[in-house]
Structures are given as C-alpha cells and as structure tokens.
Structure 1
Amino acid sequence: MSEFNTKLDHLNWKDISLQLDVEGYAVLPGLLGAEVAGNLAKQATALDIGRVTLESSDLGRGELLYFGTDLPVPLDTWRPVLYRRLVVIANRWNETLGLDYRYPAELDDFLRHNPKAGQTRGQSHLNRLGVDNHVSLHQRNDGEHCFPLQIVALLSEPGSDFEGGEFVMTEQRPRMQSRPMVVPLKFGDVAIITTAERPFKGTKGYYRVNLKHAISRVRMGERIGLELSFHDAC
C-alpha cells in the first residue's frame, strides 16, 4: 500500500463527511506535505502543458496550466484513490436530494460516460498567480456528467513564497445573501470542496445550495495551487 493510501486510511472520514455536509469543504492538513507539494509545483510547471491566461476566459488575472486528460505522476494514481473515498459521499448526496443516479465505484467507469456527453477536455490544472493576480468566483461544473466534489491544494508557502492569495468560497442559499468562507490552506494542505451544489438541511427538509470558489489577490510573490477534477468538460 502506498504512503498516500496509508495517509487516507488514517483520516477520520466520518468527520470529513460531516464537515462537507455542513460547510461544503473539508481541509486535510499536510496531506501532501512540503516536499511533495514543492516537487509537484516544480515538475508540473516544467511540463509542456496547456497554458491559458485567466484574462482570456474572463476569470481573473494569472495563468492556468492544464494537464489535459493524462495527469502526471503521482496525480494519475492519486485521483482514482481519492475518487473511491469521495464517491460514497457523492452518492449519499444524490440519495438525500432524491436523485436516482448513482456514480460508479471506480473513476474509469465514470469517465467513460464523459465523451458520450461531449466532455473531452481535462479540467485538472495548476493555477500560477503573481502580484495583483487573482481567480474570480467560478464553478467547474461544465457538462452533463459532473462529479459534485473536487480537490484543491496549495503548492507554495504562505508568508514566504507569497502573501494574499486566500482560497475563498461563497455559498448561495435560496432567498438569502451569499455566505463567504475563507478556506485556511497551508503549504502542502489539501481541501475537498463542493464543485457546484450540495444538499443542505433546512427547517422544511433538504434543498440544494450553490457554491463557487475563487482565489483573492496576491499581494507579494508567486502562488501556485492545484485543482484536481473528477470529470472532464465540454
């Protein structure tokens, strides 16, 4: 069993599931660790992968580096392992919302549905932000087959490599003002976040709440982060 699997086994998944229900995100402190996070940042930025400016898609200022559908080591082996943990929560959410669809137990089986719906563009990427760069509020829910959870990680050291650049989420409940949340990420931390919608228990039962995420303005240095998606885009 890999070290990554061992780390996942030692996490309290009951508490993680509860926090996702309540807040829409859950931080896994130090899951990557500083060495792995630093190596990922160096390796990935050196790869010849798809570079897109945030300005070109009106998503802020900075640079996204897309991996495509083939992820680099070790992300290619970590993603299916994480999916197996998260699919239990995803299917419970569908059941809570009264949806008939159940996600397959294995990531490869789920991804086979993506091309049939025209979803052929990999969404997993690095975001590289310099001074005055930011990522605007957005969702990664493009396509018919959308997995309700995704992974983000911080590959730079706050206060040393950069200042500012907080990971931010907003939650919109019906007939209420948006609720802002700052997700407290440190170097090497991973967070599970809601892709777009999740169930929330109100006084009259469960209903859907809508979430978006962003990265605030970097005030100093360079911030490198990771977003790992479990479905492809159109």
Structure 2
Amino acid sequence: MPHEVVTADSLPTELAATAFGERVAGQDWRALAAELDGHGCALTGPLLTPAECSSLAALYADEARFRSTIEMARHRFGAGEYRYFTHDLPPVVAGLRAALYPELLCVARAWAERLGRPGTWPDELDDWIAICHRAGQTRSAQILLRYGPGDWNALHRDLFGDMIFPLQVVIGLDVPGTDYTGGEFLLVEQRPRAQSRGTAVTVPQGHGLIFTTRDRPVRSARGWSAAPMRHGVSTVRTGRRHTLGLVFHEA
C-alpha cells in the first residue's frame, strides 16, 4: 500500500506523528541496531516520499521558518549554508522526529549501559526536551542544509552542551546522481592505537541515515570503550543537495 503523502504543513503534528510512526515501525530495527553497533551508522529504508522531500526542500526559501542561517565558510565549517528551524516545526519534521525517538532510545540506552554512562533519557521526547531546557539548552537544533557545487561540510560533532542524545538522523531530500553528484555523507572513527577509519554513504532520497552524535561503544581487552566519531559531507560536484537533520537534543 502506498504511503499517505504528508506535505510540510498538511497535517497537525499529532496526525503526522501517527503517519510517520507506521513508517518508522516498519523498518528492520534489529538490523539497524546491528549496523549501528558495527559501524556507528545505519541506512534506513524510505521515510519520506519524493513529494514530501520536495515540500521540505522548498521551505528553505521561507526565512520565517528559521531562527538563524549559518554560512559555513564564514565560520570555517566548510562551504555551503544551513538553517536552524524555530521551535514551530513543520508537522513533517516534528512528526518524524517524535516517531524515531522511541526506536533510537533503545539503542541509546544499550550503548550507555556498555559504556557505564547514565542512560537516563526519559521515555517521552517532550520530557527529554524539557530537561534540555532546564539545563539552559533552549534553542531548536533541527536543521535544513543546502549545498551547491564546491560546497562541503567539515568533520564535526553536533554537541551544544551537557545534555546529549547519542544518535541523530539525516534525511536526503534530493536524488543522488540526478539532482547532484558528490556530496557523500562522511564518518570518521578514531580507533585506539590505530589509524582512523572512514565511511562514506550516499543517502537516497527520502531515506534516513542514523549515526552517532559523539562516539560508539567498541569491545576492548578490558571490556567496552568509546570510539570517538565525527561526521561531515564530501564536496558537491554538480547540482544542489538538500538534507534534513534531526537532532534529539537542544542547542
């Protein structure tokens, strides 16, 4: 059965969460968790339809939707531009984020247990966001990114304070190889007493790439240790690349 198309503003947030909940629940979460354990990232099946992707990408021109615009070259983050949504998120963004949180929470708690960290994230996303706000992290961290020819994103981590959720998701809004070339998503893992390991992923339109915000647990001779990881984007060769970034803590 085809997905119901949810444009950026077509459904209230509560109904969007229900619609996306079915899509998210239909993913193979056992396999995704295994990929995350092994590589620190995992590619989902389709989460958005092409029409929904186009609807979201078109929001980039509406400055009223965003609290700030970042020119990456100005801050030596790379080249290109991205915008942070206000807290008044489009229902598509809010619904998809709410649907993904419970599934990611299972992995987050398992990782915390292995690393001996407090995995105290609450069951509900709204409760976790309230904790972020009480800690002084009050700004929306949901991102819409736009890259053109020659643009790229330097390796980094999206850490804004002490309140950290260990997983985030990027969703491709354009068609690789058709709308743009280049622009692979990059992950680099710093391995103990060894050279770093790199991973490059092409994110299909509407698919999500789940990846670690900070590090992932790896087995060591003494049990589990944290392998630091950073992410970025390779140089876009041609065309225009839009992506949606879903972060599960506030800035």
Same fold per superposition (TM over 0.5) = yes
Looking at structure 1, the residues matched to 100 and 238 of structure 2 have their Cα atoms a distance apart, in angstroms, of: 33
Code of the residue aligned with 2:24 in structure 1: it is L
Does 1:116 find its partner at 2:134?
yes
SS of alignment partner, residue 91 of structure 2: coil
Q: Say which of 220, 225, 235 aligns to 1:217.
A: 235
Looking at structure 2, the residues matched to 37 and 45 of structure 1 have their Cα atoms a distance apart, in angstroms, of: 14
Does 1:43 find its partner at 2:59?
yes
TM-score, with structure 1 as normaliser: 0.94
% same residue: 36
Asked whether the 8 Å contact 2:176–2:202 carries over to 1, the reply is no
Larger RCO of the pair (alpha carbons < 8 Å, separation 6+): 1
**Counterparts of 1:113-192 in structure 2 under 5 Å?**
113-192=131-210
Deviation (angstroms), 1:3: 3.4
| C-alpha RMSD of the superposition | 1.5
SS of alignment partner, residue 231 of structure 1: coil
Looking at structure 1, the residues matched to 61 and 225 of structure 2 have their Cα atoms a distance apart, in angstroms, of: 41
Code of the residue aligned with 2:125 in structure 1: it is L
Spell out, residue by residue over 1:158-183, the C-alpha distance to the aligned partner (whole angstroms, 9 max, x if none).
Answer: 12211111111111122221111012
Code of the residue aligned with 1:118 in structure 2: it is G
- Tell me the residue number matched to 1:86: 104
Code of the residue aligned with 1:43 in structure 2: it is L
8-17 or 125-134, larger mean C-alpha shift: 8-17
- Tell me the residue number matched to 2:77: 59
Asked whether the 8 Å contact 1:33–1:189 carries over to 2, the reply is no
Deviation (angstroms), 1:47: 4.4
- Tell me the residue number matched to 2:36: 20
- Tell me the residue number matched to 1:206: 224
Q: Say which of 73, 86, 96 aligns to 1:68.
A: 86
Asked whether the 8 Å contact 2:83–2:145 carries over to 1, the reply is yes
Looking at structure 2, the residues matched to 117 and 216 of structure 1 have their Cα atoms a distance apart, in angstroms, of: 34
SS of alignment partner, residue 56 of structure 1: coil
Deviation (angstroms), 1:45: 3.5
- Flag the 1:201–1:70 CA change in 2: closer, same or farther, 3 A: farther
Spell out, residue by residue over 1:95-153, the C-alpha distance to the aligned partner (whole angstroms, 9 max, x if none).
Answer: 11112342100111111111222212222111111111111101002211100000101
Looking at structure 1, the residues matched to 115 and 101 of structure 2 have their Cα atoms a distance apart, in angstroms, of: 20
Does 1:226 find its partner at 2:226?
no
116-125 or 186-195, larger mean C-alpha shift: 116-125
Does 1:7 find its partner at 2:52?
no
